[in-house]
Copies of this chain bind each other. A is one copy, B any other.
């Protein structure tokens, strides 16, 4: 028989998945514990059996959201930086409203307002993201630049009310990542 979650673990898992989705798309302040619990099909009173505070949930939800996002198909095992950036900086990812979105971009300026436990979870998640990107590159500095173009470009593109301009920004960042990769290939040759 396969491994089975206990009842408690199942509940915690549902809460975490709901929180990951809701927080990633709406930020910490716009989402209440009540909304998370309703989405997980539980009541508010049950929350504190699993998490010590809303902030505790947020920290864990960020890690969970990153895991969900990393399981997304085109990102799962990208062949190179260009194909990785092509998905990451897509309009689909920007407009994604109910699936696996990257909390690093969607929440970037939200983190500074939170406590240390949240910042720690975010930092760990970013480091893991960079490690993944580094496996598609050789130079760490260029990897960091590519990562900033991806996360920063996606975050900025989501803040704009001008779709054409937003698309232009995404395209420019894609080209930027590609250029950095190409330079690198040239160095190697």
A residues near B (Cβ < 8 Å) are 26-30, 105-113, 116, 119-120, 122-123, 126-127, 141, 144-145, 148-149, 151-153, 155-156, 158-162, 165, 168-169, 172-173, 175-176
Contact = CB atoms under 8 A, between A and B. Distances in A.
Contacts of A29: 27-30
B165 A108 contact: no
A119 B139 CA distance: 36
Given A156-B152, A159-B108, A141 B172 contact: yes
Most buried by B among A28, A119, A172: A172
B122 A155 contact: no
A26 B114 CA distance: 10
A111 to B, nearest CB: 4
Copies of this protein in the assembly total 2
B158 A148 contact: no
Contacts of A165: 123, 127
Contact of A120 (B105, B106, B112, B161): B161
B159 A122 contact: yes
Given A127-B165, A149-B145, A149-B148, A112 B172 contact: no
The 3 closest A-B pairs by CB, nearest first: A152-B152, A29-B29, A111-B159
A149 B151 contact: no
